[in-house]
């Protein structure tokens, strides 16, 4: 089946009740009829809700179907999912190579927490590709990717980096939130652990926080064990919202992606815009890799305002009326975020002609959004 069909038919409730949607089971304790069943290592039913009742079980099944994974771990947020993936991938002390374009809160975890675990951190140019082999040492345990980068939109050569890591015995983790598992499957490209923020495109309505990590084979077994060890849990209500969002993911992603590409092309020709950072544009330096690995584009991209400083760029964002000023992306509403305050680079300097602004395009009419952008830029 195609992915769109699997999203509709996977993770459906079992039984003869005829329910289309999984029922929300709210409980902490689930009683067992006997002590023997209570202590079975693989019980026919769960007796404590942290392991996941319905609809979390159906959500795991649906996401595993989307990625072709053997286990889906659920976490309380996208950040928690990436952290869980990294902790699962790391096997003792050593070194982690982290993309220089990584999400800011993940960078903070790498800088503050990994050294406490005996893991040194080095950042690498996200466009390094196969040349990452030159950075790998016998101590390298983890290589972390994010493609595209959540602010500056660099697309990484995932197969080349994954192959270099595998040859050296290092594990790979990717933040796959931009593609949501629909536009690209990093597990198929050789990555060991694929994490994403379900808060964004899967949720689609900006009303809950959750994350997921997917893996195959022995990595899936390790992931399942670590998920239990760290007590990760998503509420049944949030699990229901995530599962419901999955059913319409392909349509929403297609609409926001098409609108974003339309606006990106128009902004390319705007005199106030120095550069549009969108990998689906033919002039983008990562376009060839994007075409090879992705089946389509999401609705999140960035622009650089020509000769405009950070404060004036923020004023442009504040003049928008249809774009909400806020963090996150992937919801039905369009958002704008001035990014200069967030950019942190150590492997490669960030150079731009002006202020960096990121847009998340929602489901509004594209011409209304364009009129709003023209007015703010004027």
For residue 11, how many C-alpha atoms fall within 13 Å in the half-sphere facing its CB? Answer: 30
Q: Specify whether 175 is catalytic.
A: yes
Among the listed residues 100, 175, 176, 372, the single catalytic one is 175
Tokens 């060839």 locate to 288
Token code pair at residue 307: 């000769």
- Surface-to-core class of residue 77, CB atoms within 10 Å of its CB (0-12 exposed, 13-18 middle, 19+ buried): middle
Tokens 């993309």 locate to 99
Pairwise CA distance, residues 134 & 120, whole Å: 17
Among the listed residues 103, 123, 124, 201, the single catalytic one is 103
Q: Specify whether 123 is catalytic.
A: no
Residues 6+ apart with CB under 8 A from 58: 11, 12, 13, 22, 243
Among the listed residues 12, 50, 122, 319, the single catalytic one is 50
Pairwise CA distance, residues 226 & 365, whole Å: 44
Q: Specify whether 103 is catalytic.
A: yes
DSSP state of 156: P
Pairwise CA distance, residues 28 & 100, whole Å: 41
Pairwise CA distance, residues 172 & 163, whole Å: 10
Alpha carbon separation from 128 to 98, 109, 332 (Å, rounded): 12, 23, 34
Q: Specify whether 332 is catalytic.
A: no
Among the listed residues 107, 127, 200, 252, the single catalytic one is 200
- Catalytic residue numbers? 50, 103, 175, 200
């Amino acid at each position: 089946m195609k992915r769109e069909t699997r999203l509709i038919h996977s993770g459906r409730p079992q039984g003869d009740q005829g329910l289309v949607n999984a029922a929300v089971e709210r409980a902490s304790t689930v009683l067992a009829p006997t002590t023997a069943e209570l202590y079975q290592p693989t019980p026919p039913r769960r007796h404590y809700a942290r392991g996941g009742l319905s609809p979390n079980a159906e959500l795991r099944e649906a996401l595993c179907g989307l990625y072709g994974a053997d286990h889906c771990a659920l976490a309380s947020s996208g950040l928690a999912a990436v952290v869980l993936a990294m902790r699962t991938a790391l096997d003792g002390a050593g070194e982690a190579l982290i993309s220089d374009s990584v999400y800011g809160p993940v960078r903070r975890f790498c800088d503050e927490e990994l050294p406490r675990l005996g893991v040194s951190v080095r950042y690498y140019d996200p466009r390094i590709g196969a040349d990452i082999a030159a950075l790998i040492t016998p101590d390298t345990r983890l290589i972390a990717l994010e493609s595209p980068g959540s602010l500056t939109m660099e697309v990484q050569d995932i197969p080349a980096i994954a192959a270099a890591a595998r040859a050296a015995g290092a594990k790979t983790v990717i933040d796959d939130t931009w593609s949501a598992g629909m536009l690209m499957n990093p597990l198929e490209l050789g990555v060991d652990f694929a994490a994403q923020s379900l808060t964004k495109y899967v949720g689609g309505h900006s009303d809950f926080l959750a994350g997921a990590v997917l893996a195959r084979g022995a990595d899936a077994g390790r992931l399942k064990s670590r998920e239990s060890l760290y007590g990760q849990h998503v509420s049944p209500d949030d699990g229901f919202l995530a599962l419901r969002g999955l059913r319409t993911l392909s349509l929403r992603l297609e609409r926001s992606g098409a609108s974003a590409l339309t606006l990106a092309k128009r902004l390319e020709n705007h005199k106030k815009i120095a550069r549009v950072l969108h990998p689906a544009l033919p002039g983008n330096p990562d376009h060839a890799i994007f075409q090879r690995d992705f089946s389509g584009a999401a609705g999140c991209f960035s622009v650089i305002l020509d000769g405009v400083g950070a404060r004036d760029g923020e004023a442009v964002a504040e003049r928008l009326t249809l774009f909400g000023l806020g963090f996150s992306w992937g919801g039905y509403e369009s958002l704008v975020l001035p990014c200069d305050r967030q950019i942190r680079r150590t492997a490669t300097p960030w150079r731009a002609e002006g202020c960096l602004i990121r847009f998340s395009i929602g489901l509004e009419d594209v011409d209304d959004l364009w009129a709003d952008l023209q007015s703010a830029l004027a």
